[in-house]
Amino acid sequence: MTRIRFQQSLEDLKENLLIMAGLAEQAIQRAIEAYRVRDLSICDLVSRSEIAINRMERDIDQAALDLLAMEQPMAIDLRFILSVIKINADLERVGDAAKSISDRVRHMVEQMAVVDLPVDIPRMASLSADMVRKALQAFIEADAELARGVLTMDDAVDSMNRAAYKALTKVMEEQSHLAPQALNALMICRSLERVADHATNIAEDVIFWVQGADVRHHKSIAKSGDVQTLR
């Protein structure tokens, strides 16, 4: 494979990953819309999108592995391909989280009439989705600083998830008739917290690709940018 063809293959890999990202983002947006309006037809769309997301994950993985086997790339090209493989897996899990949310919405609709619960799921969803969006923008622009900005957003989602757990468990303890709805809302919050975690993973992978720095498990270092880089 010539260098020109190899670079085109890398561009194709990036383009396909961005298509995958679009599907995952759309799935999350639909799942939250399903929660907001309690529409089971939207839940069906999320379930169907999971099939396409899973298929794309397999195709992207295979394309990346083929490039590794045929070219044995070095330095930044190697880091790019490895990052694509990891980001691909996180996007698939974002799709899984969307499916989990839509399943919980289905249970909520089937259980009883809509009730007000002491949790702002749309706000939490907006922040989690924004993290995914910015992490992907950092990938598109190869922007490590933007990726670090995503890492700083994770604490807010974690805090919201803890507050939701506290409020919803209190509902389950004090209003047993609302326990099934509160449990479903609690699981939706947990799924959104996982979406934020996947966005964090993507941001860390962007930093690894661009700067050669492994910032996993070193959140304070990753946020500050005080990392050693490889070239």
Total tally of structural domains belonging to the chain: 1
pLDDT tens across 141-176, in order? 999 999 999 999 999 999 999 999 999 999 999 999
Query: Is 209 domain-assigned?
Result: yes
Q: 3-state secondary structure string, 120-136?
A: CHHHHHHHHHHHHHHHH
Structural domain includes residue 231: no
* Residue 45 lies in domain: 3-224
Residue 37 lies inside a defined structural domain of this protein: yes
Is 229 a domain residue?
Answer: no
At residue 231, the pLDDT reads 40
Residue 116: the pLDDT is 86
The answer as to whether 87 is a domain residue is yes
The domain that holds 167 is classified in CATH as 1.20.58.220
How many Å separate Cα 194 from the centre of its chain? 7
The model's pLDDT over 93-135, given as tens digits with 9 standing for 90+, comes to 999 999 999 999 999 998 866 678 999 999 999 999 999 999 9
9 in a structural domain:
yes
What span, in angstroms and rounded, lies between the C-alpha atoms of 36 and 154? 23
Domain-located, residue 211:
yes
Q: Which pLDDT tens digit goes with each residue over 32-71?
A: 999 999 999 999 999 999 999 999 999 999 999 999 999 8
